[in-house]
Amino acid sequence: MSALAGFGRPHRHYRRTDSTNARAKALAESGAPGGLVVTAGEQSAGRGRQGRSWFAPPGTALLYSAVLRPLGDAGLLPLAVPLAVCEACEEVAPVRCAVKWPNDVWVEGRKLAGVLVEGRPEADWAVIGTGVNVAVPLGAFPPELRDTATSLGSGEPPSVADALEALNAALGRWTRASDDEVLTGFRARDALHGRAIAWDGGEGTAAGVDDAGHLLVETEAGTRVLGAGEVHLSVRS
Ligand code: BTN
């Protein structure tokens, strides 16, 4: 994957901004170096995948965007990033993380972190964005998220600064990993494997990922191959 040496230098922190991904993209467009990290205490327009928004109460989450430059072969980057998030979270809190394809991080079936990678392959850079619920009191999630979201802790949580440091190190490792390492790592944490799922075009049983990182689904009509951008998934059981 990328040949970038590490993340976190330089580091730009905003007490409040619209979206750390938007800030990091603007900085990358004006020539910011690979490894630059943007964080914020609060976002007014946090962006999620598929046009959704991202919610986090001020000061309780790691709101993080990093510039990856050069990009190199980034085919499996969307699977590598949640593996880094899993490792970082497990380093700072007593949790065991899994990945819901393509890149949601789950703990005990609830979403702990989301990942939004926005690339400019023609310019050889991408922004890796993630929001990790570090110390969100469970009652602070909006009602529609209360049954599906979780946090690293609300009693004695780790600090956002410790999570940041762990993530910088883990991303350094996973963005340099080989495709084999990423696929092996992903398959070991695949939260969907064997589960009934549905998407806008059908339903079936999740059967792992192929070597390009696409989701394999066993259906009555045979094996379907789903790309991350194409589908909105729901988990049935
Ligand atoms: C998702 O699960 O939909 C992805 C959520 C990604 C949210 C993070 S928070 C920090 C960074 N800045 C953004 O605007 N989005 C990402």
131 alpha carbon – ligand 1 mean position (Å)? 5
175 in ligand 1 pocket by Cβ < 6 Å?
Answer: no
Atom number of ligand 1 nearest to Cα 63: 10
- Nearest 5°: CA angle at 5, between 113 and 106? 15
Share of the chain above pLDDT 70, in %: 96
Ranges of residues in the chain with a pLDDT under 50 are none
- For ligand 1, atom 10, the nearest C-alpha belongs to 63
Cα 159 vs. chain centroid, distance in angstroms? 19
* Cβ–Cβ under 8 Å, residues 82 and 112: no
131 in ligand 1 pocket by Cβ < 6 Å?
Answer: yes
Backbone φ and ψ of 189, nearest 5°: -120, 15
For residue 219, the model assigns a pLDDT of 96
- For ligand 1, atom 11, the nearest C-alpha belongs to 129
Share of the chain above pLDDT 90, in %: 85
Model-wide pTM > 0.85:
yes
